[in-house]
Structure 1
Amino acid sequence: MPSDASTVSDSRAQSRDWRARTQRSVVQLVGCVGAYVLLAGASYVFFAQSLVGGVALAVLAGVVLVRVFILQHDCAHRSLFQRPVTNDRVGVVLGMLTLAPHAYWRAMHLVHHSTSGDLDRRGVGDIVTMTAQEYLALKPSQRLRYRLYRHPAVLLGVGPIFQFLLRFRMPGIVAKERRPERRSILVTNLALVAVHLAFLALGDWPRWLVVHLIITQVAAGLGIWLFFVQHQVERPYWVPRAQWSLKGSALQGSSHLVLPRAFEWLFGAINLHHVHHLKPQIPNYLLRGYMEQHGLAEEGVKLGLRDSVRAFRLKVYDEATGRMTGFPPVHAGQARTPLASPPSIEPTGQLGRVLTFSGEER
């Protein structure tokens, strides 16, 4: 029988098999950022000659920016490179392109990984989801706000623009004691001011602004769509904190969005979201290999493209049936049941402790 030492050694060797490959990560980084800069620059130039050509190139730049964001997402998990400091520094630069301040977004996202599917700890880094009981207990004005928040036109249109262009610019969304997160917002803002001042001084700023808005809308809209369908499924994993587990959250509460391989590559295999939540330390380009080697291809909540569109009909979680449903009917004179505070739709200014998937703060 193998000794304990050899078992531990084999386990470490297997873990190393799924760590970042520096050369492969650098190729992805240079290729994606280079393609984005070229497309954004070409769109700016073409707009002076052809509106159609300029818009088409801006749309393509927005699609590629989603791929850049996936690289930043890997940096947030410190999985794109083996050295944590390299991930952090690269993530800061990528955040200047994606408009998502890296340290702040990383903190929010790690909370999401630690609480996804936890009924008692919703609301940080997530699409806000209320239970049917919570929804019915709201005042009419609050129900209207929640209905607007969950409308596809807001989630994919107004919401992304608000989130990336406005909300991510506000240091006040983070508690004062969380200095790295506040600093990341300020540094990203300074970089954006520098770019816009350069166009004001040396270029055609209105033309650049139009290009910038199109790119942001396309990239943010696609990104929110991907994020939405990763956890908004008809039979979700929602349990009280005492029953929550990482494996259950990953394999029962995260989707496996089946996409053509070209789209899977374009979106950095984030459609294999069940694998990512199970092993967030694995870089995007190794997720499919890990899934196939470990027999996870049939795991996760499987969705097709049509299912991903239908997911926007899901509005609240019905605890009685364990299903996501549309808005429940509100009967006239219906009494409101006293509840613990439901998740707020308002941006939060408090992050609390930032947890990684392992439950450790880092």
Structure 2
Amino acid sequence: MPSDASNDSDSRALPQDWRARTQRSVVQLVGWVGAYVLLAGGSYACLARSVVGGVALAVLAGVVLVRVFILQHDCAHRSLFQRPLTNDRVGMVLGLLTLAPHAYWRAMHLVHHSSSGDLDRRGVGDIVTMTAREYLALKPSERLRYRLYRHPAVLLGVGPIFQFMLRFRMPGIVPKERGPERRSILVTNLALLAVHLAFLGLGDWPRWLGVHLLITQVAAGLGIWLFYVQHQVEQPYWVPRAQWSLKGSALQGSSHLRLPRALEWLFGAINLHHVHHLKPQVPNYLLRDYMEQHGLAEEGVKLGLRESLLAFRLKVYDEATGRMTGFPPVPAVQGRPPVTAAPSIEPSGHLGRLLTFSGEER
């Protein structure tokens, strides 16, 4: 688990030029949250008269919700505002819209930043990735679960709905001693319950549920695509813990997804992921400026839109070649070789869980 003293939890360690600018942050917050509420409400109202219009507005609301999540992501790094408490409170409110309990998600995400690319610490806040040797050592039923988990239909379809609508509702995924994280799940659940009860009593609940499901699917699917391509690359940075470094993880193991500027603006420059991992205290609206002024434009694992889609063919990490590959062929006769898997990959034995949680201190 991360501690508040971790180096990416407070923007005050940055030079003033790269710290959050309150006015810009407030404008983003009001603009994007307002746009989301208007589109979601418009979809609900329009759906009573036009299915096509209601669905179109719900899809737009889902796209805008991705940007709302980017704002929550900045709050998780305490980079949207200069005061940590302001970030935590705003992040909690945004979590009611994104369905991601803020304190819990923040804890997992900071572990991800401290361990991305570390072969000995995989699975917390990550897309679960096995080595080829680990995959071949699995039982047939375990290999099938892993194959299903890595299938694009699960990663972009079933998985996001499971993660955001079901798993994030379960306080039991957090150890009892982690009070703030458990409370964030409970508070989010109570707020969602209140909203649904309001529609049950005062509105058309089935129509609202349909809008809610469609918005969540669009937002979570887009979000998982963006998250997947940030580190799932053909020549990744995977090293044992003793060799791991923050700079190596950022510049050699994080993608530089080259998007049209309009999409980069829409997604809060999260495509410049190598810069974000190097300096997570920098708010989204300063990431491009930081990249250009510090000569980082040619750093990171460069991908285009086409390469980002082809990345879904990557399934396991081959330690022998240092590359991500498809599934390796399983020998016809195989005595399962001994293998020591990273304990955080699958602590409960269920690969169907999109994310895992541990009490590990950063």
Runs of 4+ in 1 over 3 A off after TM superposition: 346-350
Mapping for residues 1-362 of structure 1, pairs under 5 Å? 15-342=15-342, 343-344=345-346, 345=351, 347=353, 350-355=357-362
1:4 is matched with none
> Number of matched residues?
344
CA RMSD of aligned residues (A): 1.2
Over the matched positions of the two proteins, sequence identity in percent amounts to 85
**Corresponding letter in the other structure for 1:38:** L
Counterparts in 2 of 1:292 and 1:169: CA distance versus 1, 3 Å: same
Counterpart Cα distance in 2 of 1:346 and 1:305: 27
TM-score scaled by length of structure 1: 0.93
Residue 354 of structure 1 and its aligned partner are, at CA, apart by 4.5
Residue 334 of structure 1 and its aligned partner are, at CA, apart by 1.5
Counterparts in 2 of 1:188 and 1:258: CA distance versus 1, 3 Å: same
Counterpart Cα distance in 2 of 1:148 and 1:354: 31
Residue 16 of structure 1 and its aligned partner are, at CA, apart by 1.1
Residue 292 of structure 1 and its aligned partner are, at CA, apart by 0.2
What's the secondary structure of 2:341's corresponding residue?
Answer: coil
Residue 351 of structure 1 and its aligned partner are, at CA, apart by 2.3
Counterparts in 2 of 1:264 and 1:90: CA distance versus 1, 3 Å: same
Contact 1:108 1:354 survives alignment (8 Å): no
**Corresponding letter in the other structure for 1:178:** R
Per-residue displacement from partner, 1:241-296 (whole Å, max 9, x unpaired)? 00000000000000000001110011010000000000000000000000000000
5+ unaligned residues in a row in structure 1: which ranges? 1-11, 356-362
TM-score scaled by length of structure 2: 0.93
What's the secondary structure of 1:124's corresponding residue?
Answer: coil
Contact 1:174 1:349 survives alignment (8 Å): no
What's the secondary structure of 1:121's corresponding residue?
Answer: coil
What's the secondary structure of 2:259's corresponding residue?
Answer: coil
Contact 1:251 1:274 survives alignment (8 Å): yes
Counterparts in 2 of 1:240 and 1:279: CA distance versus 1, 3 Å: same
Query: Which of structures 1 and 2 has the bigger CA Rg?
Result: 1
Residue 339 of structure 1 and its aligned partner are, at CA, apart by 1.1
Per-residue displacement from partner, 1:193-239 (whole Å, max 9, x unpaired)? 00000000110000000000000000000000000000000000000
**Which sits farther off after the overlay, 341-350 or 238-247?**
341-350
Counterpart Cα distance in 2 of 1:13 and 1:169: 34
Residue 337 of structure 1 and its aligned partner are, at CA, apart by 1.3
Residue 353 of structure 1 and its aligned partner are, at CA, apart by 3.4
